[in-house]
Chains A and B, each alone.
Chain A
Amino acid sequence: MTIQAYLLLSAITFILGVIGVLTRRNAIIVFMSIELMLNSVNLSLIAFSAYLGDVRGQMLVFFVMTVAAAEAAVGLAIIIALFRNKRTVNLDEINILKW
């Protein structure tokens, strides 16, 4: 396998994540799509790390994953708080972020 395959996979998952963020209405799914984008970037980082024989890229990915876990906890907490206030997690019904 060459690096192109990894990068192609990474690009495809990233684009899927973007499409998910832009098109889905449910906040949870949007959130998962964001995680997908994050991990697709992790994948390309790992691929380059292995390709260049440099272990530092893999170390960096561990850090990214740790931060992502923390961020997921915060994000889910926000969604719960949002649901408690609005009784919905549909993003197109939450439009107070204006004027």
Chain B
Amino acid sequence: MLSLAPYIVLFPLVGFAVLGLFGHRFKNEKLVGIIGSGAVGLSFLTAAAMFIHMLGLAPDQRKEIIELFTWISTFTGTATSLSVSVAYQIDQLSILMVLIITGVGFLIHVYSIGYMHGDPGFWKFFAYMNLFIFMMLNLVMGSNFLLMFLGWEGVGLCSYLLIGFWHDRKFETGGYKPGTATTSDAAKKAFVVNRIGDFGFLLGMFLIFTTFGSLDFDTVFARAAVLSVGGGVMFWITFLLFVGATGKSAQIPLFVWLPDAMAGPTPVSALIHAATMVTAGVYMVARCSILFALSPETLQVIAVVGALTVLVAATMGLVQNDIKKVLAYSTVSQLGYMFLAMGVAAFTAGIFHLLTHAFFKALLFLGSGAVIHAMHEEQDIQKMGGLMKYMPTTFRTFVVGAFAIAGIFPFAGFFSKDEILWKAFSSEYGSVFLWLAGVLGAALTAFYMFRLLLLTFEGKERFDHHIVHPHEAPKTMTVPLIVLGVLSLVGGFIGIPESLGGGNAIEHWLAPVFEDANDKLGIGYHSPSAMEYVLMALSLGIAIGGIFVARAMYLKRLEIAENLKNRFPGLYKVLWNKYYVDEVYDKGVVTPTVRLSESLLWKGVDVNVIDGAVNGTAKLMNFAAHYVRLIQTGVAQMYAVVFVGGILVVIAWIVFR
């Protein structure tokens, strides 16, 4: 049963090939939609069947590696010869990721049939989406670092293609090319920022190879498991891997690409920039948990970066007016929670939050897509309001999503976020400050989510009725919303903590994956304590407080927000401009790089040195040939003389040597 794993990867690849090669000939949108969603749906069914099969197996039999063929093989005869296979690994962690990717991915594919209706690039969109699913599955199912890296780069490529899908549309980017930027600029930004992170990943991979002599997960992790904690090499390996994760998962300092990535179609934002691709960094840290366990310093760095990201992104989200940008900052912030969990060695909690976040963030993005659709491509929440009576289904599911992300009991986000907060407080690697950052972030999350919800769906209608006629989205869009709404409601029940009388199923499920890391870090079993209930009540209370503040400000007394804005103009300006991070990067990194490239690398090195060398070679040849050709007189006897002379020399050499 587990040997079916390659088929999971195969279906989306076939879908991509069919749509990519023949898609433009299919005149029927339905056919394209069925092929695109069907490929992902088949993968999901296969994965679900495998998951059910795995439930019946003993924990130590739930892992299998299926090797397809040798990809790269260099036999240098030494111990460090490189041999990499295309091999897929199925275990408790990767099946969970596969279920998220194909399950949420399938729903978003179905949703896209409605959302992308009538787009001239309909088939292209589905081809890219299938390619993305294929690459993402390689990322989470690859059994070695190189295959993971292939997926890692592949999803980056798909992200680029899909952000810039409407490549000639104008887009208000952060900081650069004001007024003239198009979505392809946003795509480029995402690609380049990701490249910086990928460079770290690549260096980390080199270091792993020189240290462990292999790139296979099993070999590396087995060799790492016998090492003792600490050491400079382990710090650098894990640190470089984390740099890769900050790029892909939009953490400080490389988060700037994610808000701009909202330039893409909304299903893309939901699938790639909320539910799956951006969680790749979290998955990678979880997968390499044993390596990170060997370097508590890196874990500390991760925890601090995660906590900072939670706060920075959440505060930026407070004042945004673009519905998708609020969600984008909230994604950055939620990813910060996941890294906070990783940093305090609560790997299960991080993966749990990844799972619930995939549900409710996909739901929120798809809901926002339905709103944008209904408002005729309007994304400014200042120009919405009162939409609940026009689109009741979207409104209801959006409320579920908002409650889930705010962490209100018993929605999915409550259990996962609370688990992280508790671990941030109680873990040997946590601290009060990390917990405080998390709780503050939770309050901010509740506030900005309900600000978004209220400004969009409730209150006065601030749009022009002559131009905009809001309407409920078609069935292909609302059904995925409802499914995701249900998942956002019940998804948390797989991780009900012991303190609330639950079995914490996900913890037991993932325990074998993180066993080595937890042993290394000395994390054992903790029985529930009174403190847990206190903190739980505190974080829940603070989230509810955030909701009430939002209600007061944006439903009852709208002037409060205006007053606050006028009382703290400086603070508002800083938040509105997103702490000027984009401007600083632009002035500090982008502009100098462009200037240097233009004046030195282009006009200096390229024109003079490289072109000079190429043209110089040609000129030298021309010059030499001009004189050398004079030897060739055209008189055949002259040639014969040379020929005979040559023979004489050869004979002389044979006779007299």
In the assembled complex, which residues on chain B have CB atoms less than 8 Å from the CB atom of A30? 637
Interface 1/0 per residue, A76-95 and B, CB below 8 Å: 00000000000000011011
Residue from B629, B636, B641, B644 within 8 A of A91 (CB atoms): B636
Bound together, the chains give a CA A22 to CA B640 distance in angstroms of 7
Which 3 pairs, one residue from A and one from B, show the smallest C-beta to C-beta distance?
A98-B634, A95-B634, A98-B632
Q: Are B637 and A21 in contact (CB under 8 A)?
A: yes
Interface 1/0 per residue, B615-657 and A, CB below 8 Å: 0000000000000010011111100110010000000000000
In the assembled complex, which residues on chain A have CB atoms less than 8 Å from the CB atom of B633? 95, 98
Q: Which residues of A contact B (CB under 8 A)?
A: 18, 21-22, 30, 91-92, 94-99
B639 — nearest CB in chain A belongs to which residue?
A97
Q: Are B636 and A97 in contact (CB under 8 A)?
A: yes
Q: Are A92 and B640 in contact (CB under 8 A)?
A: no
Interface 1/0 per residue, B80-121 and A, CB below 8 Å: 000000000000000000000000000000000000000000
Chain B facing A: main interface SS: helix
- CB of B638 to closest CB in A, whole Å: 9
Bound together, the chains give a CA A7 to CA B261 distance in angstroms of 91
Query: Given A18-B644, A22-B644, is A97 in contact with B637 using a C-beta cutoff of 8 Å?
Result: no
A93 — nearest CB in chain B belongs to which residue?
B635
Q: Which residues of B contact A (CB under 8 A)?
A: 629, 632-637, 640-641, 644
* Pairs across A and B, CB under 8 Å, 17 listed: A18-B644, A21-B637, A22-B640, A91-B635, A91-B637, A92-B637, A94-B636, A95-B634, A95-B635, A96-B634, A97-B634, A97-B635, A98-B629, A98-B632, A98-B633, A98-B634, A99-B634
Bound together, the chains give a CA A92 to CA B636 distance in angstroms of 8
Bound together, the chains give a CA A21 to CA B636 distance in angstroms of 10
In the assembled complex, which residues on chain B have CB atoms less than 8 Å from the CB atom of A97? 634-636
Bound together, the chains give a CA A94 to CA B632 distance in angstroms of 13
Residue from A22, A96, A99 within 8 A of B637 (CB atoms): A22
Bound together, the chains give a CA A95 to CA B634 distance in angstroms of 4
Residue from A21, A22, A91, A99 within 8 A of B632 (CB atoms): A99
In the assembled complex, which residues on chain B have CB atoms less than 8 Å from the CB atom of A91? 635-637
A18 — nearest CB in chain B belongs to which residue?
B644
Bound together, the chains give a CA A97 to CA B637 distance in angstroms of 11
In the assembled complex, which residues on chain B have CB atoms less than 8 Å from the CB atom of A99? 629, 632, 634
In the assembled complex, which residues on chain B have CB atoms less than 8 Å from the CB atom of A96? 634
In the assembled complex, which residues on chain A have CB atoms less than 8 Å from the CB atom of B634? 95-99
A98 — nearest CB in chain B belongs to which residue?
B634
- CB of B646 to closest CB in A, whole Å: 13
- CB of A91 to closest CB in B, whole Å: 6
In the assembled complex, which residues on chain A have CB atoms less than 8 Å from the CB atom of B629? 98-99
- CB of A5 to closest CB in B, whole Å: 22
Q: Are B635 and A22 in contact (CB under 8 A)?
A: no
Bound together, the chains give a CA A21 to CA B629 distance in angstroms of 24
